[in-house]
Amino acid sequence: MRSGFTGTVRLTRLALRRDRVTLPAWVVGMAAFTAATTALFNDNYTRHPELLGLDTRIVVENPGMRVLGLVTGPTVGGYALHRDGLTLAVLAAMMSVLAVVRHTRQSEELGREEILGAGVVGRYASLTAATAVTLAANLALALMLALGLMLAGQPVAGSMVGGASIALVGVFFTGVAAVTSQLASTSRGAIGLASAGLGAAFGLAALGNMTGTVDAAALRVTSTWPTWLSPIGWGQQMRPFADDLWWPLGLAVVGVGCLFLVSVTLAARRDVGRGMWPERRGASLASPALLSPFGLVWRLQRGTLLGWSLGLVGFGLIFGALSDQISGLTGAATQWYKGFGGEADLLGAYWASMMQIAGTTVSIYVATIVLRLHHDEAQGTAESVLATAVSRLRWLGAYALNALAGATVLMGGFALAMGITGGSTLGGTPALLGDLVGAAAVQLPAIAVLGAAALAVTAVVPRWSPGLVWALVVATIVTGPMFGPSLGLPSWLLNLSPFTHVPNAPATAATPAPILGLSLAGLLLALWSITVIRRRNLALPA
């Protein structure tokens, strides 16, 4: 007798077969990154042990640094996870979301689920198999991260808790993706909903950490209640290499269990190929803007841009409101900003560092837009567009202009929001707005260089472009001014990141030479990419 879960084991084996390269690449890549960066921190603090306590106090006393996470006590492993933990948590969540959506909603979009359902397969088998494989990947991630930390010289107990604190986020978002795959009618919609949840989780954790209280020794932060509404916050509250708490992991286990039950209930109430939220009926008459490639790409990306805009404006409001607190910092808490302008202009250095964070964040948005080119090729939609009077140059230009326009909107919105709340606490809003908008503008050439590099990867190796582009984004951020100097990377490696060459405005004056140099580099890369794509065959589906 067939039940709703009949065939789960066989579909699990199929999912493992399909993901035999993708999931191990995620796991090994994150583990290698963790081991390498932790080893660099360990070497640095072994040679300069007096800096560990100083750097710990900088993080604890500085609300802006607590956005990245917590550090409890002067330990190398704890500091390394503070610097890398947020990045790893986001990557673990996206690994889980993409895996679940790939085996559920995407399979329905491509007609695979209908073929599978015609056999001896239960209604919930694909969903259960996708969940099981993704949870197994997160278990492997926890073990590999722990191994990486131990190989970098960290204690076993703390390393195990540290690995679990990252995998916890991936476990919870496995359940989130299972639910969004039932709600949305498209894989893109399911990923978008899960990504919005990830943004909310980050915001709640950051808010709880920033508004937390610091102990007398400036070695521990007690976060406020918003942290406990976020799976990212749960992982941080495990306090690896300090308290080594395991019980917050239970929150994620209970959460994913509840979310899986919700997803099964929703799957029973919808038709295959449809979501619980039906697609909206389109207008009876199309907008004239859709007659151009730029208008079509804008229509496809406007929802994504709106979501990113809301997030960056929200963080801009928060970071601007912290300006008054930053202006009162003294002693060790000011040391982190020396690379952004020195103690002579602490507020300017703070604003410059926030613009660096915003710039690297917006570069991720640009990478997602550029990768839509590969998606269009792989899914065959590019063939339909190019079969009309649209040239490849116009097709590429539509994505490039939308990416650049979106980056400008996002940086401008962040700067305006930060200037409004910062000006309201310090006074002089018009002048501050002008400084911050200018500081946001100088980030755009570096973002454009990264976007052009992503375009070049997509042009040369379209099949491998998703993985290579994300590896390029991570490498650019790690070797940039936010992480590179702290990791002790050599100057030649730091110079490979375009963000290293961005003037630290408004802490220092913005000179035209690096801006022009970055702009020229981005333009040349883009022109070369266009030439390559125009001369090669499209990577169309078989």
Contact by Cβ (8 Å): 54, 167: no
Which two three-digit tokens encode residue 31?
A: 């583990």
Q: How far is residue 139 from each of residues 135, 145, 247, measured CA to CA in Å? A: 6, 10, 16
Per-residue pLDDT of the chain (542 residues; tens, 9 = 90+): 457 788 888 889 988 998 888 899 889 989 988 998 898 888 878 877 777 877 787 778 777 678 778 888 889 999 889 888 888 998 899 899 999 999 998 888 777 777 777 777 778 888 999 999 999 999 999 999 999 999 998 999 999 999 999 999 999 999 999 999 999 888 878 888 888 888 889 888 988 988 888 888 778 888 999 999 999 999 999 999 999 999 999 999 999 999 999 999 998 888 777 777 777 676 677 777 777 888 888 888 887 888 788 888 888 887 787 777 666 655 555 555 555 555 556 777 788 888 888 898 899 889 888 888 887 877 777 777 877 888 888 888 888 899 999 999 999 999 999 888 888 877 777 888 888 888 899 999 999 999 999 999 888 888 788 878 888 888 888 888 877 776 677 888 888 889 888 888 887 777 888 899 999 999 999 899 888 888 887 766 65
Q: What is the pLDDT of residue 334?
A: 58
**In angstroms, what CA-CA distances link 109 with 45, 85, 199, 379?**
51, 34, 26, 11
Token pair in block for residue 298: 């804008």
CB 166 within 8 A of CB 238: no
Peptide bond into 226 cis (omega under 30): no
Give the Cα separation of 142 and 277 in Å (integer): 34
Q: Assign 2 to helix, strand or coil.
A: coil
Inter-residue contact 349 to 341 (CB < 8 Å): yes
For 5, 340, 366, 379, 402, the CA distances from 295, given in Å and listed in that order, are 44, 39, 17, 20, 9
pLDDT score recorded for residue 1: 46
Contact 349, 504 (CB under 8 A): yes
Distances in Å between the Cα of 395 and the Cα atoms of 293, 298, 377, 390, 525 are 6, 12, 11, 7, 17
Please count the other Cβ atoms lying within 10 Å of the Cβ belonging to residue 468. Answer: 16
Q: How far apart are CA 446 and CA 462, in angstroms?
A: 23
Residue that has been written with the tokens 């409890």 in this structure: 72
| Phi–psi pair at 111, nearest 5 degrees | 85, 0
In a 3-state reduction of DSSP, which class is residue 534? helix
Amino acid at residue number 484: G
Residues sharing a CB contact under 8 Å with residue 66, sequence separation 6 or more, in sequence order: 59, 60, 206, 209, 210, 212, 221
Residue with the two structure tokens 């984004």: 473
| Cα torsion angle, 271, 273, 278, 281, sign | negative
Closest of 167, 194, 195 to residue 179, by C-alpha? 194
Q: Helix (H, G, I), strand (E, B), or coil: what is residue 186? A: coil
Q: Which of 390, 421, 396, 163 is nearest to 292 (CA)?
A: 390
How far is the CA of 66 from the CAs of 141, 196, 236, 381, 455, in angstroms?
Answer: 25, 21, 11, 43, 34
User: Are the C-beta atoms of 378 and 466 separated by less than 8 Å?
Assistant: no
pTM beyond 0.85, yes or no: no
Length of the chain as a residue count? 542
Exposed / middle / buried, residue 288 (Cβ in 10 Å: 0-12, 13-18, 19+): exposed
| CA–CA gap between residue 514 and residue 531 (Å, rounded) | 26
Task: Say how far apart CA 265 and CA 124 lie, in whole Å.
Answer: 10
Fill in the amino acid letter for 483.
Answer: F
- Amino acid 50 reads E
Which residue type is seen at 222?
A: T
Distance CA 210, CA 64 (A): 7
SS3 of 401-423: the string is HHHHHHHHHHHHHHHHHHHHHHH
Structural contact between residues 132 and 13, judged by C-beta atoms closer than 8 angstroms? no
